[in-house]
Chains A and B, each alone.
Chain A
Amino acid sequence: MSLADLKYARGFTLLELMLALSLTALLLTLLSAGVYGVVRDWDDNQEGLDTTLDQTVAMLQVERALQGAMAHSYRDMDTLGRFIFFRGEPDSLAWVSTVSPQRSGGLTAWRLESDPGEGVALQLAPALTDSPEARLEAAPERALLPGYTAEFRYLVQQGDGQRIWRDTWDGEQRMGLPLAVHVLLSPLEGSGRDRDAVLDIVAPVFANTHRSINPNPLADE
């Protein structure tokens, strides 16, 4: 390179350099904002799909546990009477099922409770020969279906053969289980779901009488 060449070889001016740098920075900012939006959208979709999958599996499991409900009897130590454990309220339900989650053997007491602010919570406890109520109370609550409220209904056959849904079912009084349980799940406000997108769990209870305790035919009166 001769001296004459060096004289003509000039670099960028400061102005050009700054212009180029600021343009690059602007473009990078725009691009990264776009990519960030796309990635967040992707994550949202994936999370939504995962949640829906989990909840569907939870609903199926509840249905199975209700189908496997059993007329579990215990002796009340105060009165020495034998009672069937099944506490059905409009917003909560406790029952004993032959279906046990998490590979634990034996009978399991399930309790579902609908909290209007949070969702549907589940408690599980082993069902032994006494009333599982105290153990259920002490069991930790897990959020089973967050973002839903649940209403429970219980199918009873009346004396004239007609079947109707009732809001409550007291196993101690009726000495038996309902013919079926209906759980109506409605999305909570603010959960991001369509308010009309209600879901039903309908579970027939096949083993609804105890092997030796007869149902109380006068429970409705």
Chain B
Amino acid sequence: MIRADRQKGFTLLEVMMALTITGLVLGGLLSLSAGSKRLAVSAQDTLHEAVQRRAAIQFAQLEPREGELESLQRPGRLRFTARSGELMPDPIRRTTPTTWLLQRYELQDGDSDDTLTGSRWIESDVPR
């Protein structure tokens, strides 16, 4: 069988190395694409979340009465629950009583358990 002697294929080692390299390259490409997809989706979520948080902060600024933080919120499921905190300390140089006071508030994010804090103007009935 002279003919059979002359036929020489790849060894098992060579075939496996070639397959491994091909697999690595393809896997790298696919994981790159998957990573970019994840990044794009999370970037969109972050953008929408920033818009929602911005709106929640603006909503909290609209009501100048004490303790009435949520009355002007949009009806429906509220993502942020608002809590009003203490009054901010008076500035040292304040000389006359005023009806406008600064109050702290907190916005609790129901989805991520983050807390946003800020201050808002409230109007009291009597000047302090």
User: Chain A residues in contact with chain B, CB under 8 A?
Assistant: 8, 38, 41-42, 45-46, 48-49, 52-53, 56, 59, 63, 155, 161, 163, 165, 179-180, 182, 184, 197, 199-204
Contacts and interface: CB of A to CB of B under 8 A. Distances in A.
Contacts, number: 67
B102 to A, nearest CB: 16
Contact of B6 (A8, A46, A163, A200): A8
Contact of A199 (B37, B51, B62): B51
A59 B51 contact: yes
A204 B47 contact: no
A163 B44 contact: no
Given A200-B74, A202-B62, A46 B51 contact: no
Given A180-B58, A204-B61, 11 more contacts: A8-B2, A45-B37, A45-B40, A49-B43, A52-B44, A53-B47, A163-B62, A163-B63, A182-B74, A199-B51, A200-B52
Interface of B: 2-3, 6, 29-30, 33, 36-37, 40-41, 43-44, 47-48, 50-52, 54-55, 58-59, 61-65, 71-72, 74
B116 to A, nearest CB: 15
B47, B59, B61, B64: most-surrounded residue (chain A CB, <10 A): B47
21 contacts: A8-B2, A8-B6, A38-B29, A41-B33, A41-B37, A49-B43, A52-B43, A52-B48, A59-B51, A63-B54, A155-B72, A163-B62, A163-B64, A163-B71, A182-B74, A199-B51, A199-B52, A200-B52, A200-B55, A201-B55, A202-B59
